[in-house]
Structure 1
Amino acid sequence: MKPLANLSGNWLIAVVTVANAASMAWFGYDQGVFSGVLISSDFLHHFPETKNANISGIVSSCFSLGAFVGAIFAFMAGDKTGRKLAVFIGLVCNLVGAVLQIASFHLPMMFVGRIINGFGMGVTSSTCPVYQAECSSPRVRGKLVVVGSLCNTVAFCIANWMNYGLYFSGGPLQWRFPLAFQLIFPLIVGVALLFVPESPRWLLLKDRDEEALTVVARLQGRNVAIDDPAVVAEFLSIQTSLREERDEAARTNWKDMLQFKDKTQNFRRLLLSCGTQLMQQFSGVNALGYYLPTLLKQSVGFSNQTARLLAGVNGTIYVFSAFCCLLIIDRFGRRKMMLYGSLTCGSWYLIAALTIRQGEIEPSKQASFGKATAAMFFLYYFCYGTSFAKVPWVYNSEINSLGWRARGAAAATGTNWICAFCVTQFTKVGVNNLHWRFYLIFSIFCYSFFPIVFCLYPETSRRSLEDMAYIFESNPHVLVAGKRDLTSRKRPHAFIDAEARRIEAGEQKRNMPQVLDDVKMSIVHKEGAV
C-alpha cells in the first residue's frame, strides 16, 4: 500500500472521498437520530416541555437554524480559510455541540448543544461537496459526490434502526447513547484531513500556482510529473478560466450582476444552486425525516414500537435508493433525475394525503388505509433517494464559477438549512391543525418543480467545472428548454473546442508551445474515454 503521506492518484481521491463521506454521514445520522430521541420516555421525563408541539418543533429545528448560520459563515469566509480549514472548524463545532447534547439535563443546554452542532454541520455540509468536486474528474465527479450523500443515507438508516433497537431498553441509554454514537464520525474525518492536500482550484484562486500544479499532478496518478501533458492541460484550463473570471469581475458592478448582465452570470448560477436545495427541502423530506415515528403514530395510528420499526424499514429502503442513485446519476444526468423526482414524489404525497383523509372519514378502515399510507411514504423515500436527495448536492458543487463556488455552495446549503428549519418547525403544528391537507401541500410543491427544472436548469453532467462558464457566456438567456447543448447529457463538441482554446491561451501566456499538441491530443483521448 502507498504510504499515506505520499498519497496520489486513486488512493488520494479515495481519502478525499472518505473525508467527505464521513462528514456527510454525520449529517445524515444527526437528521435521523433525533426522531427517536423525541419520543423516548426518559427524554420526555427530563424534558417534559417537548410534549408541546411548538417546543418539540424548535428543539428539532434549532439544529437547522444553527446550520443556516454555519452556511452563512462558509459563504463569507470559505474562500479565505480554504476547504480543509473550513472543514476542521466545522468539525470542532460539531464535537462541542454533540458533547453538550449528550450531557444535557436542562432544555437550554440541549438548545445550545444543537445550535452549535448545527453550526458546525452547516460549515462542513457547505464545504465538503465543493472540496470533493474540485478534486475529481468530470467522468466520476457525480458518483463521488453521491458517495458522500450515500453515506449520509446509510448513517440515517443506522440512526433509525438504533432508535428501534433501543426502544426495548429503558433509562437514559435509550437516548443518550444514540447521541454519543455520533462521535465516531469526527475521528474518521480528522484522520483523513491529515493526509489530503488543499483543493488545487482554491490554491489557484490564491495565486499559489506551484502548489496547485503539484496537487493536480498528484490527483492525476502515481509518479505523474508536473510537466505531463494531461497535468498541464488541466492546470492551464483552470488557470485561464480563473483569469477570465477575474477580468470579467473587474468590469462588472453589483447592479449588472443582480440583473444577469454580467458575462458569467454568477448571480443566476447562485440562484439555480439555491433552487435545487429549496426543492429538496420543500419536497417534504424533513417532515418525514425528523417526525416519521411521530407521524406514523399520530396520522396513521400505529403503536410506538411499530412506528419505530417502520422508520427503520424506511431507512433501509432509503439506503437502497441511494445505491441506485450512485449507479445512475452520471448515466441519466442531473435534469432527468430532478424531473422524475418531481413527478413521482408529488404523486406519492398526493396518494398519502388521500389515504389519510379516507382513514379519518372511515375510522373502521383506518388500519388498512394506514398501511397504504406507510407504503406511500416508503415509495416517496425511494424516489426521493434517487432524485432530490442527491442531485442538489452534486449540482450546487458544479454550477458555480471558481470564484463563487464556495460562496455559491454555502448559499445553497444555507437555503437548504433555513428551509429545513421552516419545515421541521411547523410539521407537527401543521399535522395537528391541517391533518391530511398538510401532506397535500408537499404534493403541490413537488409538482411545481417540474416546469421550473425543465425550463431553467441546464445539464451539468459530463462537463468540466470550467465548462460551466462557457454555458452561461454563450447562452445568456434564462430559458434552456429546447437547447440541445444545454440539456443533453453528452458533452457537446463546442465545449471541447472551448477547452482547447483556453489551454492554447494559457500556453501563450506561459510560453510553452512545445507541449500544446500533446495537450490537445490528451483532451481528445479523454473525451474518447468518456
Structure 2
Amino acid sequence: MIRSKSRIYGGWLIAMITLVDTLSSCWFGYDQGVFAGVLVSDNFKEQFPETRDANISGITSSTFFIGAALGSIIAFVSGDKLGRRKTIIFGLTLNLIGAVLQFSSYHLPQMLVGRIVNGLGIGLTSTTTPVYLSECVKSHYRGRLVGIGTGSNVTMFALANWISYGLYSQRGALQWRFPLAFQVIFFFAVAPLLLLVPESPRWLLLAGKDQKALEVLAQLAGKDIPINDRIVTAEFQSIKVAIDLEREDRTPILDVLCFRDKTHNFRRLLLSCGSQLMQQFSGINALGFYLPTLLTEIVGFDQQMSRLIAAVSATVYFISTFGSLFFIDRLGRRKLMLNTTVALGACQLIAALALRQSDADFSNRKIMGNLATAMFIVYHVFFGIGWASVPWIYSAEVNSLGWRTRGAAAATATNWLFGFVVTQFTKAGVDNLKWRLFLMFAIFAFAFFPIVLFFYPETSNRTLEDMDHMFIQNPSVFVLGKPDMTERRRPTSFIDAETQRIGTV
C-alpha cells in the first residue's frame, strides 16, 4: 500500500514535534519570568506610575493569567473542532500581537490589553502542545519528551531573570522594553515548524479521517514503513477501537458530571485540574513573579543583589527541571509528586521560621535572611524535579481521547486562574502577612501529600488507550493499595486488554 509522500519520518519527525512543544514552552516560560524584572525597573515605574500601588502592580502582572485562563477555555470549547495544529497557530498569532502591544506601550491600558492578549495565546498553546506531543509519541518515552518542554519553559524563565539582571545598569526604557520585545523571536522560531509537521493521528481518528491517521502513524513509525505494516495497523486498530468504544458508551453530560459514565471522564478531569491547583498553591508563582521584591522588602537585600539571587535561583530551577527527565519515567508520576511535595513544604516552613526569627531579633536578620534565601533556592530544586513537569504531563495523559483537549484545557485554565489568585495576593501578603505567607504555602504543600496518596493513579508506562481500561476496571476514587492503579510498570491486564482490542477489528 502507498504511504504518505512526506520526507520527514520516524525519529526526525518526533524530534520536530517535540521542538514545537519545546519552543512553545520556551515562550510560556519566558513570559512567566520576564515581568518580575519589568515591575522593578525605575523607568517602567516612571512610565506607569500607577504600578507603584501594590494592587495595580498585582493587576498588571496577573492580567496575563486572566488572558491565559480565557485562552484555555477557548481551547476547551474549540480545541477538538480546530485540531491541534490550527489551535497552536492561532495561539502563536495572539502571542505575537500581545508582545508587540506590550513592548510598544506608553499608557497602562495598552499594557494591560497586551498582557491579556499575550495570555490568551499562551493559554491556547500551553493547553495544546503537550496534548499534541503526547498523542504522537510512544508511552515509554512520552514523559521525558513532554518533560523536555517543561525544562525548556524553566530555561527561558531563567534567561528572563538573567536579562533582567544584565539590564540593571540601564536607566532608560531599554531596561524593560527590550525584555518584552525579545519574546517575538519565539514566534519566528516555532511558526515555520508547524508547516512541516502533521496533525495528531489520534485527533484525525477522532475527526473520522482514518486514512490520513494511518498515513501519519506510518510516518511516525519511520522511513519506508508502509501503512499496512503490522505494528502500524495494530496501533491504528487499538486507537480506533478505543474511540469506537468511547463513542458507544457516550453518556449525557449530567451523568458525566455525576460520575455515572463508565470511563469516569469528570473524575479524570478533576485529577488534571487538581494537579495544577496544587502546583500553584505550593507558591511557585509567588516566587516567580515577586522573588526580587521579596528579597528586597522582607530579607533586606538591595535591588541589584535581589536580581542576581533571583537569576541564580532561576538557573538552579532550570537545571533541576532537566534533572526531572531522569526520574519522570523511572519513578513514575505518583512518587515524584509524593516525595517532592514534602520537600517543598519543608523548604517553605524553614524559610517562614527563619524570617520570623529575623523579625523577632534584628541582630540575626542577615543570617536568618540568608537561610530563608537558601530555602527559596532549594525549593526551586525540588519543584523543578517534581511539580514543574508532572502536572503538565499528567493532564496530557490521564484523560480519554474524547476529553483529552477538554481535560488539558480545564487543567491549564486552573493553572492560570489560580496563578492569577496567587500572583494577585502575593504583594499584599508580603506587606501584611510577612513570614506567615510562607507558612501558609508550607501548610498547603504538606496537605497535598494525602491527596496524591489516596486519589492519584499512576499514568507512566501506559498507552493513552490504557487509561480508559484503568478507570473502567477500578471505579473507586481511592487508589491506594491497588497495584493496577499505583504501580509504575504497565500491568499485565492492560497488555491483555490491548491485545483483545486489536483482535476485535
State the match for 2:167 in structure 1.
166
Query: How far apart, in 1, do the equivalents of 2:7 and 2:413 lie?
Result: 35
- Does 2:115 match 1:124? no
Q: Helix, strand or coil for the counterpart of 1:136?
A: coil
What is the rounded CA distance, in whole Å, between the counterparts of 2:473 and 2:222 in structure 1? 33
Distance 2:256 2:87 in 1: 27
Aligned positions of 1:422-433 closer than 5 A: 422-433=421-432
Amino acid at match of 2:400: S
Map of 1:369 onto structure 2: 368
1:43-82 alpha-carbon deviations (Å, 9 max, x no partner): 0110111111000000000000000000000000000000
- Within-5 A mapping of 1:399-418: 399-418=398-417
Check conservation: 1:355, 1:370, Cα contact below 8 A. yes
Once residues 328 and 439 of structure 1 are traced to their aligned partners in structure 2, the CA distance between those partners, rounded to angstroms, is 27
Aligned to 1:379: 378
Provide runs of 4+ in structure 1 moved above 6 Å. Answer: none
Deviations 1:330-362 (A, max 9, x none): 000000000012100011000101001111111
Mapped to 2, the partners of 1:62 and 1:204 lie a distance apart of 37
SS in 1 for 2:481: coil
Aligned to 1:290: 289
Q: What secondary structure sits across from 1:291 in the alignment?
A: helix
Partners of 2:229 and 2:271 lie apart in 1 by: 36
Q: Distance in 2 between matches of 1:361 and 1:47?
A: 36
Q: Which residue of 2 aligns with 1:254?
A: 253
Partner of 1:311: 310
CA distance in structure 1 between the aligned counterparts of 2:111 and 2:492, rounded to whole angstroms: 55
For residue 513 of structure 1, what is the aligned residue in structure 2? none
Secondary structure at 1:224 match in 2: coil
Q: Does the 8 Å contact 1:64/1:420 carry over to 2?
A: yes
Q: What is the aligned residue count?
A: 501
* 1:327 match: 326
1:271-286 equivalent positions in 2, closer than 5 A: 271-286=270-285
**Equivalent position of 1:264 in the other structure:** 263
Secondary structure of the structure 2 residue equivalent to 1:331: coil
2:211 aligned partner, one-letter code: E
Deviation at 1:5, TM superposition (A): 5.1
Task: Give 1:259 deviation, angstroms.
Answer: 2.0
Structure 1 residue 328: deviation in Å? 1.1
Instruction: Say if 2:243 is the partner of 1:242.
Output: yes
Q: State the shift of 1:8 in Å.
A: 0.8
**1:239 alignment partner AA:** K
SS of aligned partner of 2:93: helix
Provide the C-alpha distance between the structure 1 equivalents of 2:154 and 2:453, rounded to a whole number of angstroms: 27
Offset of 1:204 from its aligned partner? 0.2
Aligned to 1:517: none
Structure 2 equivalent of residue 522 of structure 1: none
Secondary structure of the 2:301 match is coil
In the alignment, which residue of structure 1 is the partner of 2:90?
89
Q: Which residue does the alignment assign to 1:8?
A: 9
CA drift at 1:175: 0.5
Following the alignment from structure 1 to structure 2, what is the Cα–Cα distance between the partners of residues 258 and 74?
Answer: 20
* SS of residue paired to 2:167: helix
Tell me how far apart the structure 1 counterparts of residues 225 and 342 of structure 2 sit (CA, whole Å): 47
**Could you say what secondary structure the match of 1:271 adopts?**
helix
Q: 1:253 to 1:266 in 2, by over 3 A?
A: same
- Residue identity in the other structure for 2:355: I
In the TM superposition, what are the counterparts of 1:452-471 in structure 2 within 5 Å? 452-471=451-470
TM-score, structure 1 normalization: 0.94
Q: Report the residue type matching 1:387 in the other structure.
A: G
Residues 1:138 and 2:139 are matched in the alignment? yes
1:37 aligns with 2:38: yes
Q: Which residue does 2:113 correspond to in 1?
A: 112
Q: Which runs of 5+ in 1 are unaligned?
A: 507-530
| Cα distance, 1:255 vs structure 2 | 2.7
Partner residue, 1:528:
none
Q: Which amino acid aligns with 2:39?
A: L
| Aligned equivalents of 2:122, 2:220: Cα separation in 1 | 27
Preserved contact between residue 19 and residue 188 of structure 1 (Cα < 8 Å): no
Aligned counterparts of 2:129 and 2:268: Cα–Cα separation in 1? 19
* Contact 1:82/1:202, CA 8 A, preserved across alignment: yes
Provide the secondary structure at the position in 2 that maps to 1:161.
Answer: helix
